[in-house]
Amino acid sequence: MQELFVEGGNRLHGELTIQGSKNGVLPVLAATIVCAGECRIENCPRLRDVDASIAILRHLGCCTRWDGGALLVDTTHMDKNEVPDALMREMRSSVIFLGAILARRGEAALSYPGGCELGPRPIDMHLAALRALGAEITERGGTLRCRARVLKGTEIVLPLPSVGATENAILAACGAEGVTTVYNAAREPEIAELQDFLNAMGADVRGAGGSIVTVAGKRALHGGTHRVIADRIVAATYLCAAAACGGEVRLLGVDPVALSTVTAALYEAGCRVESEADAVALQSAGSLRAIPPVRTAPYPGFPTDAQPALMAALLRSAGSTVFIENIFENRYRHVGELARLGADIRVAGRVAVVSGVGALHGASVRCTDLRGGAALVLAGLQAEGTTRISELEHIDRGYESIERKLALLGAKIGRREETLWQEQDETEDAEGEGFPSS
């Protein structure tokens, strides 16, 4: 088991190029199977979730290989339509393979997906969208089986702008006859990225980034090349780290518009923020103030995935900040671990109140989920002494070498294997059971 060791108290300075987006690349990887050909995915981050997607692709009969920072996926010989339970449990986003397999093969079978335990995240909207396109879906023994002789374009109205349901509807619609229109579609930048990749393969998808997306299906698709956008949540994490620790950082390759709600909050907290065409710079004295209530919401609102990082940044702020979580009911699972470091956070349902403290103190903590794990790292960067963070598999799902990136900015942080040992004194060795001699 690996652990992170963080020595707090260092200011952060320097430039970083932000990794490719986890939430962007996963639907792109699923989309590769809509065509039968070779796709080149550039700026593909090396993450546990990407590894999980690669395992699914290989199980389905696709070939993958790395070429530097690009992942090559050849879906020509895909010959399976079922994803086993063990692979589905690796990540929540595995459900987006459902629409892609259905579009390519006309039938698909998979179990319910895994991922971080952030509360109920039913896939009812996904299934309703596929049924609207003509799929017959049955469930037996925890396995979903979807079949469609012919998928037909239709109008799909999502009750909520779900990112995953929007992606599944778009992917399945690529294999449907006629035009599909998705209303109340999610507006996240990652939806626009999926549209760009599909169109590079010859699809006709329009409107992504807005609430109405149209797909003209049954087009002849081919392989394509795509460059993954920068990860806005990773960028937000490093901005929050610099804000909390003090210093000056410049993040390259990012879209300032996609980060605007986060940078606005950090500006309110007392940071200086400057945006360029594809970069964001932040200066901080390391002494932040409380800000108006933070309410998470679907894009373009404040992202739920950035909420734990902002919470961690404000642990030593002057005053109290209210967080209202409107997406995941269990988003505060990391709060108990932050308390071990001396944080003052009160939680009632979906509301958390962070009252700034004078100092944080190093402690041993464990990651509860992906974004909560990143929050623990940020807290450790501010704490006096050493913070030891375990269960890093959560962080590795979405952050590419988080310790190396932070070390480049001046943080004192490292990763090492946990060593388990049991010391025995000479008496125990002599007596065998450790009892005193008579």
Q: Which residue has the tokens 């079949």?
A: 147
Catalytic site residue 116? Answer: yes
Residues in Cβ contact with 429 at an 8 Å cutoff, skipping those fewer than 6 apart: none
For residues 104 and 175, is the Cβ–Cβ distance under 8 A? yes
Q: Is 34 exposed, middle or buried (0-12, 13-18, 19+ CB in 10 A)?
A: buried
CA dihedral sign, ordered 194, 107, 73, 117: positive
Which of 39, 62, 116, 146 is catalytic? The answer is 116
Residues in Cβ contact with 86 at an 8 Å cutoff, skipping those fewer than 6 apart: none
The helix (H) or strand (E) run that includes residue 83 is: strand 82-83
DSSP E strands, 237-319: 247-252, 272-275, 279-284, 294-295
Task: Tell me the C-alpha to C-alpha distance, in Å, between residue 147 and each of 75, 101, 103, 105, 126.
Answer: 21, 10, 10, 9, 14
Taking the C-alpha atoms of residue 279 and residue 274, their distance in angstroms, rounded to an integer, is 9
Q: In the 8-state DSSP scheme, what is residue 84?
A: -
The SS3 assignment for 92 reads: helix
Taking the C-alpha atoms of residue 170 and residue 167, their distance in angstroms, rounded to an integer, is 5
Task: Tell me the C-alpha to C-alpha distance, in Å, between residue 193 and each of 101, 228, 238, 274.
Answer: 19, 8, 23, 25
Taking the C-alpha atoms of residue 229 and residue 22, their distance in angstroms, rounded to an integer, is 9
HSE toward the beta carbon, residue 2, CA cutoff 13 A? 11
For residues 93 and 120, is the Cβ–Cβ distance under 8 A? no
Instruction: Report the catalytic residues.
Output: 116
